[in-house]
Structure 1
Amino acid sequence: MSPTSVPCGTTTNSSYSVSASTAGSFSSPILRFTTEISFYCHTQYEKVEKIGEGTYGVVYKARDRVTNETIALKKIRLEQEDEGVPSTAIREISLLKEMQHGNIVRLQDVVHSEKRLYLVFEYLDLDLKKHMDSCPEFSKDPRLVKMFLYQILRGIAYCHSHRVLHRDLKPQNLLIDRRTNVLKLADFGLARAFGIPVRTFTHEVVTLWYRAPEILLGSRHYSTPVDVWSVGCIFAEMVNQRPLFPGDSEIDELFKIFRVVGTPTEDTWPGVTSLPDFKSAFPKWPSKDLATVVPNLGAAGLDLIGKMLCLDPSKRITARSALEHEYFKDIGFVP
Structure 2
Amino acid sequence: MIGNRYKKIEKGGSSAGIGSGTYGEVFKCEDTQTGTIVAVKRIRTDLEDEGIPSTALREISVLRELQHPNIVDLQDCVQSAGRLYLVFEFVDKDLKRYMESHEGPLPSLTIKSFMHQLLSGLEFCHARGVMHRDLKPQNLLVSRDGRLKLADFGLARAFCPPIRPLTHEVVTLWFRPPEILLGSQTYAPPMDMWAVGTILAELAAKAPLFPGDSEIDELYKIFMLLGTPSEATWPGVTKLPDWNAIFPTWPRLSLRHAAPGLSDAGLDLLNKCLVYDPAARVSARRALKHPYFDGFDPATPAPPM
TM tier relative to shorter chain: 0.7 to 0.9
CA shift, 1:91, in A, is: 6.0
Q: Which residue of structure 2 lines up, in the alignment, with residue 251 of structure 1?
A: 216
- TM-score w.r.t. the length of structure 1 is 0.79
Q: Which residue of structure 2 lines up, in the alignment, with residue 17 of structure 1?
A: none
2:112 corresponds to which of 138, 142, 146: 146
Q: Distance in 1 between matches of 2:22 and 2:272?
A: 29
Q: Distance in 2 between matches of 1:87 and 1:176?
A: 27
- 2:7 maps to 1:46: yes
Q: Which residue of structure 2 lines up, in the alignment, with residue 63 of structure 1?
A: 30
Change (3 A) 1:206 1:289: same
Q: Which residue of structure 1 lines up, in the alignment, with residue 123 of structure 2?
A: 157
Q: Is the 8 A contact 2:105 2:205 kept in 1?
A: no
Unmatched runs of 5 consecutive residues or more in structure 1:
7-41, 200-204
Q: Distance in 2 between matches of 1:106 and 1:127?
A: 15
Change (3 A) 1:316 1:91: closer
Q: Distance in 1 between matches of 2:155 and 2:78?
A: 15
CA shift, 1:226, in A, is: 1.1
Q: Distance in 1 between matches of 2:287 and 2:82?
A: 42
CA shift, 1:44, in A, is: 2.2
CA shift, 1:128, in A, is: 1.1
The SS at the match of 2:39 is strand
Output one character per residue of 1:116-173: Cα deviation in whole Å (capped at 9) or x when no partner: 332111111221111111112342x111111111111111111111111111111111
- 2:87 maps to 1:97: no
The SS at the match of 1:221 is coil
Change (3 A) 1:290 1:48: same
- 2:259 maps to 1:294: yes
- 2:198 maps to 1:237: no
Q: Distance in 1 between matches of 2:48 and 2:140?
A: 29
The SS at the match of 1:289 is coil
Output one character per residue of 1:233-253: Cα deviation in whole Å (capped at 9) or x when no partner: 010111111111111111111
Structure with bigger gyration radius: 1
Q: Distance in 2 between matches of 1:56 and 1:97?
A: 19
Identity level (%) = 55
Q: Is the 8 A contact 1:170 1:210 kept in 2?
A: yes
Q: Distance in 2 between matches of 1:43 and 1:138?
A: 45
Change (3 A) 1:306 1:124: same
- 2:93 maps to 1:132: no
Q: Which residue of structure 2 lines up, in the alignment, with residue 273 of structure 1?
A: 238
- TM-score w.r.t. the length of structure 2 is 0.86
How many residue pairs get aligned? The number is 288
Deviates more, 1:224-233 or 1:67-76: 67-76
Change (3 A) 1:269 1:77: farther
Q: Which residue of structure 2 lines up, in the alignment, with residue 174 of structure 1?
A: 140
Unmatched runs of 5 consecutive residues or more in structure 2:
14-19, 159-164
1:310 corresponds to which of 275, 280, 302: 275
CA shift, 1:316, in A, is: 0.4
Q: Distance in 1 between matches of 2:218 and 2:33?
A: 47
Q: Distance in 1 between matches of 2:74 and 2:28?
A: 15
Letter in 1 for 2:27: Y
Output one character per residue of 1:249-288: Cα deviation in whole Å (capped at 9) or x when no partner: 1111111111111111122112222222222221111211
More strand, by proportion: 1
Letter in 2 for 1:188: F
Q: Distance in 1 between matches of 2:76 and 2:284?
A: 28
Letter in 1 for 2:206: Q
